[in-house]
Amino acid sequence: MIDIALMQSCLDGDEVKPFVRDYGMVIVDECHHVSSVTFERVLKGVTARYVYGLTATPIRKDYHQPIIFMQCGSIRFSADAAGLMAQQGFHRYFIPRFTSFRPLTEDKQNISSLYQSLVDDEVRNNLIVDDVCKAVDAGRIPMVLTSRTAHVEILSQMLHDRGKDVILLTGSGTAKEKKTALHQLRIAPVENRLVVVATGKYVGEGFDYPRLDTLFLALPISWKGLLAQYAGRLHREYPGKEDVRIYDYIDLHHPVYDSMYKRRLKGYASIGYKVADVSSPALFDSLPDLDLSSSEGQIFNGKTFFVLFCKDLLAAKHSIIISSPKLYHVQQNQFTDMLKNLLVNGINIIVLSKQSDEQTDYLKSLGVTVNTNKTLSHSCAIIDSSIVWYGGIHLLGFSTEEDNIIKLSDNARLAAELIEALMDKK
């Protein structure tokens, strides 16, 4: 006999019901919740010989995962992204969409105020809605995710005004309204080109709509576990699904959002996504539906980027700008040796860093222009005002396989935006 039970049904007030002790095997779905006081109380009452846990996010943002391992045991099996992709038969693409957003004030703001600034930004919202409309017109089934109900309402109204069929899913409203929205989603004919606009919490665990193939992250997130959960909404198999795409809106002019982007980049790499390297105008302005293939760009780590980055440096024609907040033994760094030769060949080289010490003095002695600023956050390189490397790798510092970076070619607009952001730090 197999019983399926809700955690709440195992409790009588603060006491665990006696029947919990009668099972020989317990399987805990979404076991990352075990670290909550109530859920842990139930598991403490379990006397089964076998206890299994299932989750896509065993590492918690609050670092309480030891409680999970205490109650469910250590990780015995993990499905890797490459294996899942081979089974599923569709490709995964991350499409960076860089914005020119800047807060209205330079005063320090808390994260809530910063998010509200994004919600209220008309230019940014228009960019998102334009992208969504083009995806729908191309036959894709997108979901727009944001953390603010007000943002859901703004984007939904803009999409309605463009004549799109929108289904709202938020935590607000009555239970009947939520049930009606989900019912509309389930009964929608296949030929209907609808758009789901939702808050992230609402479409987390348990939400299942296999037709979805495109995700728009309308507000930034940082935790890779949450990114994996959201991306998982796209990873359901469905007839005719050839690829899934996540449009990521990167607000590079603010250090908080830049930091969040670096964390997301790790998340994309961990779940097998490739970056769609599209042309410069497309990254900021009108973007037609993309004709992508499995040969799209790699998300590099601190080891795999080296060879191609060296090749780009050596091919520089007139200028190199490297922003490396941290420096590490630049006197022995292989990149520094390349910079020496490039300087001899007349290449203009600028290095930006948070540090001001003997390492920056050494770079200056070579003829490198060095700008230092303690608030510098961007890790990037701009070659010939066109080729951009941008991510979380300190290019003249120490890097590991846990760090990531992407390369975007022929992106003069992105290069100009990054240069402007960097020069603002002078």
Quick: pLDDT tens for 255-292. Answer: 999 999 999 999 999 999 998 865 544 444 444 555 55
The answer to whether residues 49 and 107 belong to one domain is: no
Residue 1 lies in a domain: no
Question: What does the pLDDT read at residue 81?
Answer: 65
Q: What is the CATH number of the domain that holds 188?
A: 3.40.50.300
Residue 90 to residue 243: CA distance in whole angstroms: 5
The answer to whether residues 259 and 404 belong to one domain is: no
Burial 354-389 (b: 16+ CB within 10 A, else e): bbeeebbeebeeeebebbebeebbbbbbbbbebbbb
Q: What are phi and psi of 279, to 5 degrees?
A: -70, 160
Q: Which residues contact 208 (CB under 8 A, 6 or more apart)?
A: 236
Q: Amino acid identity, residue 316?
A: A
* Residue in 93, 98, 99 with CA at minimum distance from that of residue 140: 93
Residue 357 to residue 301: CA distance in whole angstroms: 27
How does DSSP assign 270-316, residue by residue? HTT-EE----HHHHHS--PPP---TTPBP-EETTTTHHHHHHHHHT-
The answer to whether residues 393 and 280 belong to one domain is: no
- Domain final residue, candidates 72, 90, 121: 72
The answer to whether residues 326 and 262 belong to one domain is: no
Contact 8, 1 (CB under 8 A): no
Per DSSP, the three-state class of 225 is helix
Range of the domain at 354: 301-423
Percentages helix, strand, coil for the chain (3-state, rounded to 5) are 35, 20, 40
Residue 239 lies in a domain: yes
- Domain final residue, candidates 263, 297, 331: 297
Residue 178 vs residues 173, 174, 197, 231, 349: alpha-carbon distances, Å: 7, 6, 13, 22, 57
Question: What does the pLDDT read at residue 90?
Answer: 87
The answer to whether residues 90 and 67 belong to one domain is: no
Q: How many CB atoms lie within 10 A of CB 141?
A: 22
Residue 303 to residue 102: CA distance in whole angstroms: 33
Residue 2 to residue 7: CA distance in whole angstroms: 16
Q: Which residues of the chain have pLDDT under 50?
A: 280-287, 293, 295
Question: What does the pLDDT read at residue 379?
Answer: 97
Place of tokens 């607009």: 413
The answer to whether residues 249 and 370 belong to one domain is: no
Question: What does the pLDDT read at residue 108?
Answer: 65
Residue 43 lies in a domain: yes
Per DSSP, the three-state class of 257 is helix
Residue 2 lies in a domain: no
Domain count, the chain: 3
Question: What does the pLDDT read at residue 280?
Answer: 40
- Domain final residue, candidates 72, 97, 114: 72
Residue 287 lies in a domain: yes
Q: What is the reported pTM?
A: 0.83
Q: What is the CATH number of the domain that holds 354?
A: 3.30.870.10
Question: What does the pLDDT read at residue 281?
Answer: 42
The answer to whether residues 207 and 180 belong to one domain is: yes
Residue 98 to residue 390: CA distance in whole angstroms: 12
The answer to whether residues 331 and 307 belong to one domain is: yes
Question: What does the pLDDT read at residue 285?
Answer: 44
The answer to whether residues 134 and 63 belong to one domain is: no
The answer to whether residues 127 and 253 belong to one domain is: yes
Note the pLDDT tens digit of each residue in 60-78: 878 888 999 999 999 998 8
The answer to whether residues 246 and 350 belong to one domain is: no
